[in-house]
Amino acid sequence: YPPVNCNGKRATPDVSLDADPASGVSVYDSTPYNGQAGWFTVGGTSVSSPMWAARSADTNAVVNASYVYGNAITFRDITAGNNGYPCLTGLDLVTGRGSWTG
């Protein structure tokens, strides 16, 4: 999994969440973006990062490396799909440990 445009910084995912704009989240924006305003379906890190933050706030969890790599939460292993690299059983370089469950 090559770190593209990372300027030598870490580019390995720890966890995953659906970031596909095709199955993303509907949002309404009254400020025009690219000449359009109204309802949009968005995905990517702009959606998945706030969703992880909301989940950790809802469960009153501090999500750090020991939390993610310890046994404090259960993950759903993502084994199907790809972004040009395969999802494998267990920790992989596409989805990390997987999605948060429970």
How confident is the model at residue 2, as a pLDDT?
55
pLDDT at 9 over 90: no
How confident is the model at residue 71, as a pLDDT?
67
Q: From residue 19, how far is each of 41, 71, 86, 90 by CA, in Å?
A: 11, 25, 16, 20
Q: Name the nearest CA neighbour of 28 among 17, 36, 20, 18.
A: 36
Q: What is the pLDDT of residues 38-94, one digit of tens each?
A: 998 888 878 888 888 888 899 888 877 787 777 656 788 888 877 777 888 988 888
